[in-house]
Amino acid sequence: MLDDFLLTFIHYIFPENVALRGKSSQSSTYAGSGPECALDGSLNSWTHTNDQTNPWWRVDLLKVYRVNRVTITNRPSLGSRINGAVIRIGNFLDIYSNTICGVISTLGNSATATFSCGGMVGRYMVVHIPGSRKTLSLVEAGVYGTLAGNRAIGGASIQSSTSADWIAEKAIDGNRGLQQLRTGCSSTLNETNPWWRLDLHDVYRVSEVVVTNRKDCCAEQINGAEIHIGNSLENNGINNPICAVIPDIPAGESNNYSCDGLDGRYMIIHIPGDWKILTLCEVEVYGYLAGNSLL
């Protein structure tokens, strides 16, 4: 755990282009100008797709990062081809399921532009140009950020009841479940005060919790849910301090909740009241081991 913390701290102080560690691909390749040309450090080579509909270039970062910024260097001629390109960050191979970081409105020949992504979380960075008869060329692409440190991955989860095969573990499988809802989300039965609990195995100082809601129906079922952080299992952990109350989360979206450094081994989400169903498509927990002096 400490190794992860030190690596994240080093990356924060000395940012590196994490794209250089990844694997690149693109929708098509023209004249041998493959996707790796955007990661070779040379200003004399560039990627090049065929003239096609919705061309794209993607880098798989191999791990999930919190992306602070992306840089794009344009080709030395015909630079206007990149106008209108969209930069996305996320965890999905389906381009349009990922979150937009920025749009390249215009970019001059040989120019480099920087786009702030505000800590977006994702394994993939994608550049694509929507429309027909488009060509995408990139001289260089940079992705700068830190390992996401989702502490929920590797934790142990349990819930008050289980509806069919919507088991508790599906809320921490690293997949926000929006592409395969019925196989990617957890859900309790309809009951009084349903809850879901995560054991982080160690005491963490939790800075943020991210909750992803279901997208098919019933998005309002999450309304009023409480997020608790602490070290007690009394009352199934519900007696621990409240980090946040969820007023609502739009269908299929993820909302972030600041926990202001609450310490705890357990993170609990529960909905008070009768005839309630708790469905979670993904729960992410960010923070560091309590007691680290570099917080």
Q: Could you tell me if 246 and 255 are in contact, meaning their C-beta atoms sit under 8 angstroms apart?
A: yes
- 35 pLDDT tier (thresholds 50, 70, 90): very high
Q: Quote the domain boundaries for residue 232.
A: 156-289
Is 58 inside a domain boundary?
A: yes
Q: Could you read off the pLDDT of 132-158 as tens digits, one per residue? A: 999 999 999 999 987 667 899 889 999
Is 295 inside a domain boundary?
A: no
User: Would you call 290 exposed, middle or buried from its count of C-beta atoms within 10 A (0-12, 13-18, 19+)?
Assistant: middle
Is 54 inside a domain boundary?
A: yes
Residues 32 and 118 in one domain: yes
- 293 pLDDT tier (thresholds 50, 70, 90): very low
Residues 126 and 189 in one domain: no
pTM for the structure as a whole: 0.56
Residues 117 and 162 in one domain: no
> What is the percent of the chain where pLDDT is above 90?
71
Q: Could you read off the pLDDT of 247-263 as tens digits, one per residue? A: 999 998 889 898 888 99
Residues 79 and 168 in one domain: no
Residues 91 and 115 in one domain: yes
> What's the structural domain count of the chain?
2
Q: Could you read off the pLDDT of 47-76 as tens digits, one per residue? A: 999 999 999 999 998 877 889 999 999 999
Q: Give CA separation, 213 vs 24, 55, 190, 219, in Å.
A: 30, 30, 17, 7
Q: How far apart are CA 246 and CA 207, in angstroms?
A: 16
Residues 134 and 9 in one domain: yes
Residues 133 and 166 in one domain: no
Residue 232: predicted pLDDT: 97
Closest C-alpha to 96, from 135, 126, 118: 126
CATH number reported for the structural domain that contains residue 183 in this entry: 2.60.120.260
Residues 272 and 235 in one domain: yes
